[in-house]
Structure 1
Amino acid sequence: MDRQLLLGQTLAFTADPFADGPAAARHSARGAVLLDGGQIAEVGEADALRAAHPDVPVTDHGQGLILPGFVDAHMHYPQTGIVASWGKRLIDWLNGYTFPEEMKLADPAYAAEVAERTLDLAIAHGTTTLLSYCTIHPASVEAFFTAAEARGMRVAAGRTCMDRDTAPEGLRDTAQSAYDESKALLETWHGRGRATYAITPRFSPTSTEAQLEALGALWAEHPDCLMQTHLSEQTDEIDWVLGMYPDCEDYLATYEKHGLIGERAVFGHAIHLTERERARLVETGAGLAHCPTSNTFIGSGLFDLAGLQAAGARIGLATDTGGGSNFSMLRTMGAAYEIAQLRGTALHPSQLLWLATEGSARLLHQEGIGRLAPGAEADLIVLDLASTPAIAQRATRAGDIWEALFPTIMMGDDRAVAATYVAGRRLKG
C-alpha cells in the first residue's frame, strides 16, 4: 500500500535520553503513524490522523507499541549457523567455530542460504537494519546485499579481509586482492538502493600492515563508505596485537597508522581502552558498537558505557551474532542493562531503546532510520507488551510506559514482535 495508517501506542524520541532523560521521548497511548511510499508522513494522535485521512486504509495494532525498527550495529551473518556454540576465549572460538564455518561460504549457494536465513531471523526479531561482516569471498557479499535488496532492507556490509597466517589458508587473501575485490564490490553495491558498503579489515591480528595500508587508501578514495573492524575485545587479544606491532603504543594506533579512524569508523567491542584511545575515539568521532551478549558469552569484559557516554563517545548497540548468543535486540538491551548494573549504572529503558534504534543508526550515518518522525523511512516494528504470561503479569502493574516496556526488554524475544515493517511493507505479523 502506498498510503496506510497504523494505529497503536507510539513512542518517539525528540532528543537524546542520555542528555535529556526520559523526557526526550513522547508517548501516546492511542497514537497513529501515517505511511506514504515507504516513508513516515505523519505521527500523531489516532483520532486526529483518522479524521484528517478518512480514505486511507487503517491497520489497528490495538495496544501494540509502534517503534522504529531495531538497528544492529555489528554482526557477522556468516556465523548465524554457529550462534550459541560452547567456547573458551576469543582465539579458541575463532579457530574452533568461526573460521571453519566461514570457509563454507566459498560456495555461493550456501552463502545465499545463510544470508536468507539471517535476514529472516532479523525481521522476526524486529531488526530492520544490520551492519554485517561477510567473508573473504565476494560471493558472500553479493549474497547478503542481494537478500537484503529482495526484502527492501537498509543494510551495510563488506568483504572481510585477512592476509596474515593467523587466519587459515582457506580464508586468507593478499593486500592487493583485498583492495581490488573490496573496490569492485563497493562500486557495485555502495549506494545501490538501500545498501551501504563498509570497508572491512577483520582486525589487526589477521591483517598485515600492507593490507591495512591498502584498505586505508581505499577508504580515503571513498570516504562516504563506512569502515568496520574490532578493537580491544579481550586482554590477551591486546597483548597479541602489541606483540605484532611493537612500534604502536596501543591497539588503536595500529589502525590510526594506516588511516583507519574517523567519524565513519565503527569499532566493535572497545572494552579495554587506554586513556589515549578513549580520547582519540571521541576526538575523531568514531563509533563504538557495544556488544553486551558477546562480551559476557565469550568472557571479554564489561564495556564502560557510562564513562564513554560522559566523555562524548558515539555508541550504538549490537548483537555480534554469532559471538553474541542471541539474535534479539531486546535480549541485547537486557544484557546492556545488566552490564551497566555491574559497573554501577542503572540504564533507563529510554536509554536502552535509543541505543538500539537512533543511537545505532547514527553510528551507521543513516539519518533516515531509527526514528519515528515525519520524513524518516518506514522501517517500523510493533511490540506486544504482554507477549508471554510472565511478561503480561508484570506489565499489568505498570504505572507508566517505561514500567510497561521494561519487562519486555528484560524477558522478551521474537514473540514480542507482533509486526515488522520494512520500507512500509509488512514482512512479519
Structure 2
Amino acid sequence: MADFGGDIELEDFRAEVRAWLEANFPASLKGQAVLASAEITTPNADLKAWRKAIGEKGWGTPTWPKEYGGGGLSIPQARALAQEMAKAGAFNPLMFGMGVTMIGPTILDYGTEAQKQKHIPPIVRGEVQWCVGYSEPNAGSDLASLQTKCEDAGDHWVINGQKIWTSGAQYSDWCGALVRTDPTVKKHDGISFLLIDMHQPAIETRPIKLIAGASPFCETFFTDAKAPKDALLGKLNEGWTVGKRLLQHERASQTGASGGGRQTPLHEIAKRYVEVDGKGRIADPDLRTRLTQHLMDARIHNLTLARAAAEAKGASGATNAASVLKNSATHVAQTRAELTLEIMGAQGLGWEGEAFAKEEIEAVRGWLSGKAMSIYGGSAEIQNNIISKRILGLPDTTQSS
C-alpha cells in the first residue's frame, strides 16, 4: 500500500476505501451501528461477516501496527477511513468491545512482545471478548482500596475476591483486572494488573439487570482462580500506573475519540414530530433555541476532541483532555436523549408494542441507560474534582487542614 502522505495519495486511498466498502459492507447494516453492541446475544449473519471482513483487513484498528494485524494507517488515513465509512452508513463493529477500546491499547503500551503476539491479533480480528475488573463493592471511587487478592503460588498466581459492574463479564473470554499483590505497603503501591482467562470454573459471573431492561454489568467472583506468572501486564506492584493508562483509553472511547456510528441529526428527527412554520423551521422558538444550543455544544465538544487528539499525538501518559472530555461527552449525550424524548412526546415513552416505532422504543431505553454515563468510567463529581485540582490548580477542599 502506498504511503498516502499527500492530498493526491489521500484521495487515492479514499477511492480504495469506497471500493472496499462497496464490496464488503452489507447493505442491510447501513446505519445500524446499534446492532454491534447486541451481536453477542442476538446473532446476525451479516454483522458476523462484516466483523470478519474488517478484522482481517485491519481497519477495525486502523492505526495499530501491521505486525499484529492492525491497519498500520497514518492519522490522516484513519480520519479519511472514518469519514468514508460514515458517508456509506458503515460503522466499526469492533469499537463496542473493551478489547479494542481499552485492553488492546494498554497491552500495546505496556505488554511484552510475547503478550502482544498472543493477545493483539485476536483482538484485531474481533475473535475474543474482554472485560475489565476494576470496581469492587467497597472500592468504587476510591479504587485504590481494592481488596481482590493475588498470591504467588510458585509457578502461577491465585486470585480471590469480588469485582462489580464488570461490563460484559458473562460473555468475556479474558479479563484485565487490578489485583492486590502486596497488602503491606501503601494502597497505590501494592496493586498489579493481571490478564485473566475467564474460562475456568473458579470464576462466576452474575448479571445485574438495569432499569433500561438490559444486563450489561455483572458481579464477578474469583475463588482460587488461576493465572500464569507471565499474565502480569507491566511490573509487579506497579499496576496502578497501568490501570490509569487504561482509564485514559476508556475515556477516549467514551468521548468519541475512537469513532462510532453516525447519528441522525436531532433537528431532522424533530421535524417529523413537532410543528414547523412556513419557512420549514421548528415552530416552537424555545425548543428551537435549545436544539441550537445542543448543536453548538456538540460541535464544541467535537472540535475540542480533535484538538486534544492532535495535542496527544505521541504522548505516552494521561492528558488533561481525557478528564474534561468525559464530562463534556456525557452532557452532550444526555442532553440529546432528553431532547429526543421531549420531541417525541407520548411516542417517546413506549416500552414495547406495535404502537411504537423501533426508534421510539430505542429512544426511551437509550435515555434510561444513558443515565449511567454520569457514573461509569469515573463519576462526574470525581472528574470535576480532578479538573479543579489537577488542571485548574484550585485548592483541595476535601482534605482537613
TM, length-normalised to structure 2: 0.24
Specify the structure having the higher radius of gyration (Cα): 2
Greater per-residue helix proportion: 2
Greater per-residue strand proportion: 1
**Larger RCO, structure (CA 8 Å, separation 6 or more):** 1
